[in-house]
């Protein structure tokens, strides 16, 4: 079994693109298990990850390709939560969606992708870059 953790934010297009890349991994899709994680930073309504449109989009793409999928959620720092999920499921691969940011934007807002790459301790796949703020 090949374990993948996919970090999904609110962006539906980025979630679909990342999920499609996972479906292109070599081997039999039946041997791939994907844990989709959404990290809430503000959730006053108490929504669950399965209610987030981008999570549903990614899950639909993965399941349509015959991959086994679990959905989990966390709160707090997205990079830390993705890394922790990878440790918990002993992931073979962490997947995050990239986006363009100016150097000032990175300095002000940080970069989940950069933190996962530098601190994840596992292989990381960064999928299609989508313009961000």
Is residue 95 within 8 A of residue 21, CB to CB? The reply is yes
- Give the model's pLDDT for residue 132: 46
Going by pLDDT thresholds of 50, 70 and 90, the confidence category of residue 133 is very low
pTM (predicted TM-score)? 0.89
Closest CA to 113 of 12, 19, 8, 36: 8
Q: How far apart are CA 115 and CA 78, in angstroms?
A: 10
Domain ranges of the chain: 2-131
Closest CA to 93 of 58, 55, 59, 122: 122
Q: Is the pLDDT of residue 108 over 50?
A: no
80-91: average pLDDT = 98
pLDDT of residue 105: 58
Residues 25 and 121: their CA atoms lie apart, in Å, by 20
Fold assignment, 2-131:
Rossmann fold (3.40.50)
Report pLDDT digits (tens) over 32-63.
999 999 999 887 677 899 999 999 999 999 99
């Amino acid at each position: 079994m090949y374990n993948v953790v996919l970090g999904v934010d609110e962006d539906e297009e980025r979630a679909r693109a990342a999920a499609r890349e996972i479906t292109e991994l070599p081997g039999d899709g039946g041997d791939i298990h994907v844990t989709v994680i959404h990290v809430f930073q503000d959730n006053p309504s108490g929504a669950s990850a399965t209610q987030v449109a981008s999570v549903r989009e990614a899950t639909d793409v993965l399941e349509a390709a015959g991959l086994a999928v679990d959905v989990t959620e966390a709160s707090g720092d997205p990079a830390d939560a993705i890394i922790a999920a990878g440790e918990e499921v002993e992931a073979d691969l962490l997947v995050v969606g990239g986006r363009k940011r100016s150097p000032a934007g990175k300095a002000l807002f940080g970069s989940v992708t950069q933190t996962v790459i530098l601190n994840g301790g596992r292989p990381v796949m960064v999928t299609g870059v989508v313009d961000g703020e």
